[in-house]
Amino acid sequence: MRRTITAFVLVFGTFASAMTLGAFCTYSTWASSRDPYLEWDTLARAFHELQTRYIEELDTSTLIYSALNGVVDSLDPHSSFMTPEQYKRFQEDESSSYYGIGATVQADDHGLRVADIIPGSPASRVAMEPGDLIISIDGTSISGEPFQQSAQRLQGDYGAPVCMGIQRGDQQRQVTLQREWIHLPAAMGTILDNDLGLLTIAHFREGASNEVKATVANLEAQTEHGLKGLVIDLRDNPGGLLREAVDVVDIFVGNKLIVSTRGRALGTTETLSGTDATDDIDIPLVIIVNRFSASAAEIVAGSLRDLHGAVLLGTPTYGKGSVQTLRVFEDGSALKFTISSYYLPGGEPIPPKDGLLPDITVMDAEELAYEELVEGLIRQVDADAIIDESSKKQLLNLLSSTQKPLVPRQLSRRWSPPPIGRRLESDIQLARAVETLRRQLGQ
């Protein structure tokens, strides 16, 4: 009997001690970081109040989507929530193919200005050219219509016809063509003199690395004594798939660490390396970058500089050194959020605000014109005898700190460029890159 009582006392004492310790830990946790379910309760109550008492009847999905947008907006600029309609457009934008006419366009007060024509597309077969103005679509004038609305009307179902009014100078004509499956090329190549090549990479979507390899092989075949040097143009390249970027770097570096990712959750930390191959290309590289070279383009530029000694020329890159994952929900909406950061072979991340700094800074013509405008205004203010000194100081400080707005430049003729001679005359950065490459080779 005494043994039974002793055992009971021991068990009860252990249980009581555990309960006391558990209660203490629970209280300590609540006191230090609060119970997250209290916030969920607040959110639910707020939703109930709005749904039952707001002056107008509210749609539940609209409230939920708006709440999710608010949550994601408080994170980094690369995370986003997409409604089903937005996610569908996102998928179309991310694809390297679409149904359309094969022309890139930009906004114009009187319609859509053709910026580039994709070779072999319906637009090329009806002799459309960069600079043409699309003034009507299917008999309706698009003058003054929102750009996105007009541009979307050029896309449609496979084989569906579209009639457009085209203006070139003072001449107008009507063309009718059928929409086709349009592929946006990832890589374009041009041979320069003295066995030098120019490789333009437009994006890193699915299949991009294979296109780059084929383009480099084609350039090699066009040379007399083999490719001696290469200028890689990554300007305005928004990035794409990490694996495609790694495979492009692998063409030049062999079995070396190309990039690593580091995150908080399980499976978000990894290292990606190249592979040794007999056809690895060991030639001098000059890479042109600008403020719209982002993500995968920055990985290619930074890794080739670290591992291959490539020279970066142009202006600082965008500064997107993070990895996003995509979660698609049952209603068709999607959440894109950051899970890790990129680290270059040297162990440093891509600076999120400054981007990669080029070895040789060369502004394009548009940026130079902007700089000259600001400098001219500074000289005018400084020489003005009417403005009082206090106001003059404020104006000078404002002008000195002014930066060029981060807005996309005019679409370039990427898929139907003019002859290389004309490009070298008008493209300051390209001309300087070729000059730098020739100097490296002693030409």
Two structure tokens written together for 134: 């699309």
Considering 156, 183, 210, which residue would you say is the last residue of a domain? 183
Shared domain check, 294 and 359 = yes
Please give the Cα distance from 204 to 301 (Å, whole number).
13
| Residues spanned by the domain of 159 | 100-183
Domain membership of residue 90 (yes or no) is no
pLDDT confidence bin for 370, thresholds 50/70/90: low
* Residue 442 CB-density burial (10 A; 0-12 exposed, 13-18 middle, 19+ buried): exposed
Give me the mean pLDDT over the 395-421 stretch: 67
Q: Mean pLDDT, to the nearest integer, of 145-162? A: 90
- Same domain? For 245 and 351 the reply is yes
Q: How confident is the model at residue 417 (pLDDT cuts 50, 70, 90)?
A: confident
pLDDT of residue 224: 87
Beta strand pairing status for 133-137 and 103-108? unpaired
Q: How far apart are CA 241 and CA 210, in angstroms?
A: 13
Dist. CA 208–CA 142, nearest whole Å: 35
107 and 207, same domain (yes or no):
no
Identify whether 77 is part of a domain: no
- Residue whose C-alpha is closest to residue 152's, from 91, 84, 105: 105
Least confident stretch, 7-11, 64-68, 93-97? 7-11
Last residue of one domain, picked from the residues 146, 162, 183: 183
Query: For 355, left (φ over 0), alpha (ψ -120 to 50), or beta?
Result: left
Same domain, residue pair 203 and 151: no
Does residue 259 share a domain with residue 358? yes
162 with 227, same domain: the answer is no
Residues 178 and 239 in one domain: no
**260-282 tens-digit pLDDT:** 999 998 888 899 999 988 888 99
| CA 385 to mean position of chain CA atoms | 47
Contacts of 302 (CB under 8 A, 6+ apart): 344, 350, 356
- The b-or-e profile of 27-38 (16+ CB within 10 A means b, else e) is eeeeeeeeeeee
Query: How far is Cα of residue 98 from the mean position of the Cα atoms in its chain?
Result: 19
Supply the residues annotated as catalytic.
Answer: 295, 306, 320
pLDDT at 416: 82
Does the pLDDT at position 95 exceed 90? no
| Structural domain total, the chain | 3
CATH assignment at residue 236: 3.90.226.10
Structure tokens at 324: 């996003």
Domain identity same for 260 and 247: yes
In a domain, 38, yes or no: no
Q: Binning pLDDT at 50, 70 and 90, where does residue 25 land?
A: very low
Query: Hunting for tokens 């043994």 — which residue is that?
Result: 3
Identify whether 14 is part of a domain.
no
Boundary (domain end) residue, out of 183, 208, 226: 183
319: left (phi over 0), alpha (psi -120 to 50) or beta: left
Q: What is the 3-state secondary structure (H, E, C) of 69-83?
A: HHHHHCCCCCCEEEC
Give Cα 254 distance to the centre of its chain: 26
Contact present, 313 and 307 (Cβ < 8 Å): no
249 in Cβ contact with 285 (< 8 Å): no
**Same domain for 178 and 131:** yes
pTM to 2 decimals?
0.79
User: Residue 171: which CATH number?
Assistant: 2.30.42.10
- Residue 73 in domain: no
221 and 348 belong to one structural domain: yes
Is residue 85 in some structural domain? no
Most confident segment among 4-13, 71-80, 414-423: 71-80
Question: Residue 432's closest CA among 297, 168, 235?
Answer: 235
Q: Is 387 among the domain residues?
A: yes
**Is 92 part of any domain?**
no
- 292 and 247, same structural domain? yes
Q: How far, in Å, CA of 336 to CA of 75, rounded?
A: 11
One domain for residues 205 and 347: yes
Cα–Cα distance between 289 and 369 in angstroms, integer? 19
